[in-house]
A = this chain, B = another copy of it.
Amino acid sequence: MDWSIQEIAKLAGTTSRTLRHYDDVGLLPPSRIGGNGYRYYDRTALVRLQRILLLRDLGLGLPAIADVLAGQTGEARALEGHLAWLRHEQDRLARQVASVERTIEAVGGGEEIMAKDMLDGFDHTEYREEVEERWGADAYTAGDRWWRGMRDDERAAWKERSEALGRDWTAAAESGAAPDSAEAQVLAKRHVEWLTGIPGTPAGTPGGDVAAYVIGLGEMYVADPRFAANYGGERGATFVRDALRVYAEANL
């Protein structure tokens, strides 16, 4: 009393290709192979297949299923392990959803402001809003789980610190100081310390390659006008970049 490969596939609700695969990986060999090479399956195989499909629907991988069916791993134990992995994935997904949501918000806001700029012209208030947006984007770029966990007052303090740094950079750039001057290097040090406050970035992570990160960030300030604006335009950004590079190469 046995079935052909298509018959057992229909009985169990799967495909013949899947059965051939299970044969290939040794998970479910046919119970009999005809002289013509055809695969035939009996009731025992059907039940085994049904158990396989059940565990598969729960999300277990084929090797794990093989272990369970071989009795090497208790079913409960295997599922416990799998459950832990599933919860991990849930965490990861939840964080990603939060990140994407906030990014949509930030991007949407940024685009609105840009559109407004083009339609209504330019004034100081809007400029300040835009700068704040950009700082938000910068902070986001650097590491976002952190930003969403902040309280309002913390966020305000951070913004104040950020703006002070931007003002000082702009002033230093306009004073004509050299990127390797003591003044600029002090600012670079402050900048790096500021970055260090952002967990999730190389700067805020023990063992991270801070030097490379700082240099890369400096290049971004120069190349992207959205950030350059925070440092007094492209000339200012170039100054910041050079100062950061000198500092990073000497001290990090």
Contacts and interface: CB of A to CB of B under 8 A. Distances in A.
Nearest to A87: B97
Main secondary structure of the interface of A (DSSP, over half): helix
Given A89-B93, A93-B93, A50 B103 contact: no
Given A47-B220, A47-B223, A223-B47, A76 B11 contact: no
A96 B100 contact: no
A248 to B, nearest CB: 11
A147 B104 CA distance: 38
B216 A50 contact: yes
A187 interface: no
Interface stretch (A127-135, A156-164, A207-215): A207-215
A124 interface: no
B94 A213 contact: no
Contacts of A96: 58-59, 86
Nearest to A140: B54
Given A83-B104, A104-B80, A224-B47, A10 B97 contact: no
A11 B215 contact: yes
A76 B109 CA distance: 10
A44 interface: yes
A213 B75 CA distance: 25
B222 A43 contact: yes
28 contacts: A10-B212, A11-B213, A11-B216, A11-B219, A12-B216, A13-B202, A13-B212, A13-B216, A43-B219, A43-B220, A43-B222, A46-B216, A46-B219, A46-B223, A47-B224, A50-B216, A50-B220, A57-B99, A58-B96, A58-B99, A59-B100, A76-B107, A76-B111, A79-B103, A83-B97, A86-B93, A87-B97, A90-B90
